[in-house]
Amino acid sequence: MGKEKIILTGDRPTGRLHIGHYVGSLRRRVELQNSGLFDKTFIFIADAQALTDNMDNPEKVRQNVIEVALDYLACGLDPTKSTIFIQSQIPELCELSFYYMNLVTVSRLQRNPTVKTEIQMRNFETSIPVGFFTYPISQAADITAFKATTVPVGEDQEPMIEQAREIVRRFNHIYGETLVEPEILLPDNAACLRLPGTDGKAKMSKSLGNCIYLSDTADEVTKKIKSMYTDPNHLRVDDPGQIEGNTVFTYLDAFCRPEHFERYLPDYPNLAELKAHYQRGGLGDMKVKKFLTAIMQEELEPIRNRRKEFEKDIPAIYEMLKKGCDVARAQAANTLDEVRRAMKINYFDDAELIAEQSKKFKGE
Ligand code: TRP
């Protein structure tokens, strides 16, 4: 029997999810969930990881668990097809992390590029919390506890997956083949790898106020696109415009499909022609923004409506999460059991060990 194909991924609950999350991973997860190509799908809310840099603000994390769960359901993650759960409710992950810590050096963690950038971004330089510093190890526990083969995430998570793979190889080398090496699954479209904020800045982030949220109202979305960063030198309609670094076109790269032209902009056959016209001059920003707005509303409206429905029964969402935690916990416990056996710390069900020790002390 070939090994099972298992998807696992998650998000930190530090805010509502935005369209960067959506094109970076969420949209893909839903497709994978529905593709029938995978034996299991695990999606989780990484509250324990969120606490590694929000230790003084647990309320923020607590409030956002449900927001993320609602965003998941709104996007089409389906608890009858995917196990949706909360990280902190799976204590087995802590135990796995504890053993994996012995397989990773401090200098290896210091070289993790994502950790490095995050330390700078948070001004942690001289006071890095140990839990934060070691979160790549805990993330390896998240992944391996569920024997994930496929981890759909954004580009910034690449060093995390690489570190998890190293831990798996080291564990298997020392203790025998036990853990499964995961593969990263990145978005196949360059614009989706790192969707810029509406201000054109490299990354969408709540603190920069440059996000379009999945739960934004139609008006909010329209307003945000209207004030979106374009080419600052494209002053008159007739001026030639730049596509590179032009947020409106980057978003079109991420969201536009051929049928959108028939529906909303039949004068153009495709995106390449639209871009060419903009570059030649004679195409105004407002026209392109209107087109993008129509596309975004079409994509976001069903998500927004589904969210509204789910918001009507919040206790049911917690109940769904609780069930997900039960399923996830059983799976993680199973893996932990195998890990303990491999490490031979399963003293009480190791008859061979007990017999051997008893012989030794009898002097046989
Ligand atoms: N680090 C991820 C993020 O910030 C969240 C995460 C935690 C995760 N554990 C994971 C993603 C395991 C994939 C697999 O978005």
In the reported structure, the alpha carbon of residue 13 is separated from the centroid of ligand 1 by a whole-number distance in angstroms of 11
The structure tokens listed for 48 are 């324990």
Mean pLDDT of the chain: 94
Beta bridge partners of 68: none
Place of tokens 């992950």: 93
48 touches 138 (CB < 8 A): yes
Looking at the DSSP assignment, which residues form a beta bridge with residue 6? 40
Residue 159 burial (C-beta neighbours within 10 Å; 0-12, 13-18, 19+): middle
Q: Are 340 and 145 in contact (CB under 8 A)?
A: no
Dist. CA 11 → ligand 1 center (Å): 5
Going by CA atoms, what residue is nearest to atom 9 of ligand 1?
Answer: 139
The whole-number pLDDT of residue 2 equals 57
Q: How confident is the model over 44-53, as a mean pLDDT? A: 96
**What are the residues facing 44 on neighbouring strands?**
10, 85
- The alpha carbon of 268 is separated from its chain's Cα centroid by a whole number of angstroms, namely 35
Residues 232-290 have pLDDT tens digits of 999 899 999 999 999 999 999 999 999 999 999 999 999 999 999 999 999 999 999 99
Mapped onto helix, strand or coil, the DSSP state of residue 240 is coil
Quick one: what percent of the chain has pLDDT higher than 90? 87
Strand partners, 11: 45
Residue range 137-165, pLDDT digits in tens: 999 999 999 999 999 998 889 999 999 99
Nearest CA to ligand 1 atom 2: 11
Among 160, 165, 183, 184, residue to substitute to test ligand 1 (most atoms within 8 Å of Cβ):
160
Cα distances (Å, whole numbers) of residue 360 to 10, 336, 353: 49, 30, 10
> For ligand 1, what atom is nearest to the CA of residue 154?
15
pTM for the whole structure: 0.94
Q: Write out pLDDT tens, residues 64-78.
A: 999 999 999 999 999
User: Where does the pLDDT of residue 28 fall: very low under 50, low under 70, confident under 90, or very high at 90 and above?
Assistant: very high
Cβ–Cβ under 8 Å, residues 58 and 88: no
Exposure string for 115-138, b = 16+ CB within 10 A, e = fewer: beebbeeeeeeeebeeebbbbbbb
Cα separation, 109 vs 112, whole angstroms: 5
Q: Where are the alpha helices (DSSP H) in the chain?
A: 19-21, 27-35, 47-51, 58-75, 92-100, 106-110, 113-121, 130-133, 135-145, 158-175, 190-193, 218-226, 247-255, 258-264, 271-280, 285-311, 314-343, 351-362
Residue type at 321? L
Q: Where do runs of H (alpha helix) occur along 204-284?
A: 218-226, 247-255, 258-264, 271-280
**Cβ count near 113 (within 10 Å):** 12
- Residues 96-125 have pLDDT tens digits of 999 999 999 999 999 999 988 888 888 877
Residue nearest to atom 3 of ligand 1 (CA): 11
What secondary structure letter does DSSP report for 213? B
Say how many Å lie between the CA of residue 9 and the centre of ligand 1: 6
Angle at 194 between CA 38 and CA 226, to 5 degrees: 120
Using one digit for the tens of pLDDT, what is the confidence trace for 206-222? 778 899 999 999 999 99
pLDDT above 70 for 94: yes
Identify whether the C-beta of residue 281 lies closer than 8 Å to the C-beta of residue 239: yes
Nearest CA to ligand 1 atom 8: 10
State which amino acid sits at residue 24: G
Ligand 1 cavity residues, CB under 6 Å = 8-12, 46, 49, 139, 142-143, 151, 153, 157, 160
pLDDT of residue 290: 97
Q: What is the pLDDT of residue 120?
A: 85
* Torsional sign, CA 176, 177, 180, 183: positive
Cα 44 to chain center, whole Å?
9
